[in-house]
Amino acid sequence: MPSLKEVRNRITSTISTQQITSAMKMVSAAKLRRAQDAIIQLRPYAGKLKDILSNITSSADSSSGGDFAKKKPVKNVLLVVITSNRGLCGAFNSNVIKLASRTVREKYAEQKKAGNVQVLAIGKKAADFFRKANYKIFSNNSELLNGLNYENTSVVAETIMKKFAIGEFDAVELFYNQFKNAASQNLTSEQYLPVAAPAQDKNAKKTTIDYIYEPDKEEIVKELIPKALRIQLYKALLDSYAAEHGARMTSMHKATDNANEILRDLRLTYNKARQATITKEILEIVGGAEALKN
């Protein structure tokens, strides 16, 4: 049985850890509310814009669709992997990294073998992992998460679009956690470029929405595609940001509960050790008194 001093030290350190996890839980809960409001407000606009873009590009010819809708043989691939800058959020980061790694093995094995797979990391956890895994790091944009806004995200989206347009990349995919609620996230991978046509249900009739274009179709599409791509990346970042704080809040809540259980066991151990010490001292006193009598 450990000594009383050892048990007291463990109780003190556990209480300190519990205070930290409880504080982190409250901070993440406050940040989650703001992040959740932001993504919920953006989703209807981003979803409708994506639907319009997909319908236009599916019916557009190569000239009106622009460079961003052209499908090419995939030789060079860019993976945009969105994680967090910090840990203590359960499997939030590792799940995204595993999804991206599995996609490379199953879909881009030849490109990886030829050294034609690059990673644009948004989040220090993704940058650290893929650097150690000997992937080519196209860029590390972890600072985006420190002051997340549309303007900074647009700069990154413009860079990706320019590289795709000049043929440096033939395919770009997004990997991130989509926010569902505070307790769960949907692991998501999306084709970012080229712009994908809308998925058609096999049992449903193929329908194409007939839009009225003004001034003309080509000009509208050329303006709409870059805007939709910037919004798509910004939405993915907002989703990941909200999901991160939801995961961290849940993780810290569990850590706080575990600390309570550990404290209960430690206090029970402490009381047993203290009782054993008192019993031993009483026996020593009684034994000494009996010895004096004799």
Rounded Cα distance between 128 and 142, Å, is: 11
Q: Is 241 tagged catalytic?
A: no
3-state per-residue secondary structure call for 229-291: HHHHHHHHHHHHHHHHHHHHHHHHHHHHHHHHHHHHHHHHHHHHHHHHHHHHHHHHHHHHHHH
Which tens digits make up the pLDDT trace of 176-235? 999 998 888 999 999 999 887 655 555 555 556 666 777 777 777 778 889 999 999 999
Q: Which helix (H) or strand (E) holds 48?
A: helix 4-59
The pLDDT value recorded for residue 277 is: 84
The pLDDT value recorded for residue 80 is: 96
Which tens digits make up the pLDDT trace of 66-107? 678 788 899 999 999 999 999 899 899 999 999 999 999 999
Taking each helix axis from N to C end, the angle separating 124-132 and 92-107, rounded to the nearest 10 degrees, works out to 40
Residues above pLDDT 70, as percent of the chain: 90
Taking each helix axis from N to C end, the angle separating 217-293 and 150-165, rounded to the nearest 10 degrees, works out to 120
What dihedral do alpha carbons 41, 47, 48, 49 form, nearest 10°?
100
Rounded Cα distance between 47 and 18, Å, is: 41
**Dihedrals phi, psi of 136, to nearest 5 degrees:** -75, 120
The pLDDT value recorded for residue 285 is: 87
The catalytic residue among 80, 89, 97, 172 is: 89
Tell me the mean pLDDT in the region 130-143.
Answer: 92
Cβ neighbours of residue 278 closer than 8 Å, sequence gap 6 or more: none
The pLDDT value recorded for residue 218 is: 75
Tell me the mean pLDDT in the region 269-281.
Answer: 87
Is residue 114 within 8 Å of 170, Cβ to Cβ?
Answer: no
The pLDDT value recorded for residue 208 is: 60
Cβ neighbours of residue 60 closer than 8 Å, sequence gap 6 or more: 69, 217, 221
Question: Token match 């647009």: residue?
Answer: 154
The pLDDT value recorded for residue 214 is: 74
Is residue 92 within 8 Å of 244, Cβ to Cβ?
Answer: yes
- Does the domain made of 20-199+207-252 have the CATH classification 3.40.1380.10? yes
The pLDDT value recorded for residue 207 is: 58
Cβ neighbours of residue 7 closer than 8 Å, sequence gap 6 or more: 266, 269, 270, 273
Rounded Cα distance between 126 and 81, Å, is: 7
User: What residues does each domain of the chain span?
Assistant: 4-19+254-284, 20-199+207-252
| Residue 278 clears pLDDT 50, i.e. is over it | yes
